[in-house]
Amino acid sequence: MTVLEDARAVLAEAPVCDACVGRVFADRSHGLTNADRGRALRVTVAMTDDTPFEATPPDECWVCEGRCGDHDAWADRVVDALETSVLETYQVGTRAPPLIEENDRLLRESAGLPPDAGESFKSAYNREVGRRVGERLGLTLDLERPDAVALLDLDADTVEVQIHSAFVYGRYRKLSRELPQTKWPCSACDGDGEVRGDPCTVCDGSGYRYPESVEQLVAPHVCEAMGGTAATFHGAGREDIDARMLGTGRPFVVEVESPRDRFPDVEAIQAAINDATEKVAVKGLRLATYRSVERVKELDADKTYRATVEFSVPVDADALRAAADRLDGATIEQDTPDRVDHRRATKTRTRRVHRCAVEILDDTHAELELDTEGGLYVKELVNGDGDRTDPSLAGLLGVRAEVTALDVLAVEGAEDPFEVDDIFRTPPTD
């Protein structure tokens, strides 16, 4: 059948409004709205058949029951819901009444057309309302990961807005040996701060084993600047609480929930963090996409360490240099260290020491500088962990050896492993 014949069949199911007529033929022409397409078909049929032209207002249409006349009103409601947030991209979704979806199906069936002919009511509604919202707010449609989604529930007469998280990437240097990376809830009170109604004596009612963390010194500044409801800190691995993170710093991402402003001044945030504490310093803050979290979590970067080592008895200098030479370039087999076995999977890891250099301080102290593959436990490389690490410095020397101070000097060297376009975001220009 021709388009004209199909149009006659659809119009015979009157009363049907122009938008519902045109929607059936949405895949047969481009550059027109469904209402324009439907009106053109109605006019053509009237002229071809020499019949009176009779338009059907949406409120008389049995298919959409007047909904096709409400696009502007729904767009107004979406604009009101979104205009308090600073956004760049958006998407509109629709929950269509089941009866209207059934009417849409019956129209095609009665006209003898395939059930998937043209465009669905829901898809058309998303597009018509979405187009109006985009034009009024100056936003870009994004069907993959928009900044915000407005969900129209036509039956419930509601607009539900979902503001997706925003992300800020950077690197941190941890200058304290008494600071965990993330919040550490107190185990005595399960983070409640109370035990049977009384303040917890272990954490002094704070709910945390340690009063501060890198997360608590960094994330609140980002969250406040973005006007978010909460923030989560994602680090590219972590150092021990008593280890400093120096040098180039460790990559991290702060994820902010329900932000009102996705494009804050990151230089001002960086300055505020660095001015507020001497325990942590951040650099290179940049706006990022949701992909940055996955990149950070999956990073298994090589690392550079500096470890101060103490021996239980005096060690011969030549023997120490020989042991360091044995570790230089060595492949290490490590069972899960005893100190973390309660929270890590028990398995044997094989990791490589790329470089091991030693500086002898005196006959019971030395300083090691190590370049290692990601995932190697340096303290156990030194102390042997009861032969769970092989080879180890203690094992090669046959004496007890302990790390008394540990610094991480670099994560993935001096180059930033995140210089990839798809994880960073540029603020929109006015």
Q: Would you please indicate which residues are annotated as catalytic (active-site) residues?
A: 240
Cα 102 from Cα 125, distance rounded (Å): 15
Give the rounded distance of the alpha carbon of 63 from its chain centre.
Answer: 41
Beta strands in 258-411 (DSSP E): 280-288, 303-311, 331-335, 348-362, 365-372, 389-390, 401-411
Element (H, E) at 69: none
Alpha helices (H) along 277-373: 291-298, 317-327
Nearest residue to 377 (alpha-carbon basis) of 334, 406, 343: 334
CB 227 within 8 Å of CB 260: yes
Residue entry with tokens 């410095």: 393
d(C-alpha 117, C-alpha 113), whole Å: 7
Measured CA to CA, the distance from residue 34 to residue 12 in angstroms comes to 18
Spatial separation of the C-alpha atoms in residues 408 and 416, rounded to whole Å: 16
Distance CA 393, CA 395 (A): 5
- Residues 59 and 319: their CA atoms lie apart, in Å, by 93
Q: Which helix (H) or strand (E) holds 381?
A: helix 378-383
Q: Using CB atoms within 10 Å of the CB of residue 170, give its burial: 0 to 12 exposed, 13 to 18 middle, 19+ buried.
A: buried
CA dist 201 and 385 (Å) reads 33
> What is the b/e burial string over 295-304, where b = at least 16 CB atoms within 10 angstroms of the residue's CB?
bbeebebbbb
Q: CA-to-CA distance for 145 and 71, rounded, in angstroms?
A: 24
Q: What angle do CA 138, 141, 143 make, to 5 degrees?
A: 160
